[in-house]
Amino acid sequence: MDFLQISQTAMMVIIGTIALALFGIFFGLVYKGIDRKLSAHMQGRIGPPIRQPFRDVVKLFTKENIVPENAIPWIFNLAPLVGLVATISILLYLPLGGFQPLFPGKGDLILILYLLIIPSLAMVIGGFSSGSPYATIGAQREMATMIAYEFPLAIIIITIAWRLSMQGVTNVFALSSIAATPVWNIAGPLGFIGFIILLLVLVIITPAELSKIPFDSPEAETEIAGGLLTEYSGRNLAMFYLTDGVKTVVMASLIVALFFPYNLSPLFGLESYPAFAVDIAFYLAKVFLVILFSVTLIRVAVARLKIDQIVYTYWVPLTLLSLVGLICIMWDQTIMANFGLQPVFEMLGIV
């Protein structure tokens, strides 16, 4: 590869990264506005306009950035930037609206799981570095929440990868492989039930990843005055706000990539630009529905849980439920293999 090709590749990566960052920030704020509007109507309120998150971010960037007297300044100021950069980086590995990831790889799903931890860790480190007792309590709660939901999340990922490997798929941790072989297409009746269970568990994990009600005890305003974000203001608070918006798009896109990686353009025989337009619109609709069911409806229907209730919920009911889904999928594979039902299901269009 000569210098010209290297320069073109580097330029495409830079442009693609900037475009994905703008995409994640814009639609993250749009979906936050829609979420706030819908939840307000569900509670009998008018609610703010959908553009309100954009106003909030602009206002925060114009405000003074205050560093507490007892804080460690360089850590306090670096934590929001690290969280935002890590969250935007995840978009580089996700297929969005029919477009392949900017950085496809063999183990990008594992990398995404690691990158998802960084924004939460950035908030924890920022909370500890602020020197505030409220932020310290929030950081401790955030760490307990992270430990709680990582186990069922790992079960979901391993189950999907194992089922794909049994199907003979290579690179089972690559999202491109999952998109090419949707899990619903390779599951029998029992496996179908198992994947529905895993989808339900992942939907309940999403609010904790995003620190939304009922799993927002690390930031509980009525208990610890904002917790992790108590001492943050100005551009630092704005970056955490943007991180939350981008992470909302990331989590919804991850659910779409794992369970609903379908596009409409092949169904209508579309190609080129019309295909891209239809697939992007369909992708945005899927992301909206995921946010509606995993964030908005849960936030309106359920009150905030205490930290011990959050840990119990993920370690016992949801972990057991994800294991039930795993067992269903394993039995489904065993039944099809031992009783020779694979050809029958294929003929019926089940697998």
pLDDT at residue 336, rounded to an integer: 65
What is the C-alpha separation between 24 and 40, in angstroms, rounded?
A: 24
**Integer Cα distance of 282 and 293 in angstroms:** 17
Which residues neighbour 314 within 8 Å (Cβ) at sequence distance 6 or greater? Answer: 145, 148, 149, 151, 152, 205, 208
Could you identify the residue written with the tokens 């320069």?
Answer: 7
Number of helices followed by number of strands (H, E) in the chain? 15, 0
Cα–Cα distance between 276 and 232 in angstroms, integer? Answer: 40
Tell me, what's the pLDDT at 344? 41
Place of tokens 């690691």: 114
Of residues 230, 270, 269, 220, the one with CA closest to residue 71: 230
Could you give the residue ranges of the DSSP H alpha helices within 104-233?
108-129, 133-166, 175-180, 189-209, 221-224
pLDDT of 196: 93
pLDDT of residue 120: 87
Distance CA(234)–CA(211), nearest Å, equals: 21
Q: Say what the pTM is.
A: 0.88
Residues in CB range of 34: below 8 A, 6 or more apart: 50, 288, 291
> pLDDT in tens for each of the 351 residues of the chain?
566 677 777 788 788 888 889 999 999 999 999 998 998 888 888 888 999 999 999 998 898 888 888 888 888 889 899 999 999 999 888 888 777 887 777 677 888 888 888 988 888 888 888 878 888 888 888 888 888 888 899 899 999 888 888 887 888 888 888 888 888 888 888 888 999 999 999 999 998 888 887 887 777 776 676 667 788 888 888 998 899 899 999 999 999 999 988 888 777 777 777 888 888 989 999 999 999 998 888 888 888 888 888 888 888 899 999 999 999 988 887 776 665 545 444 444 445
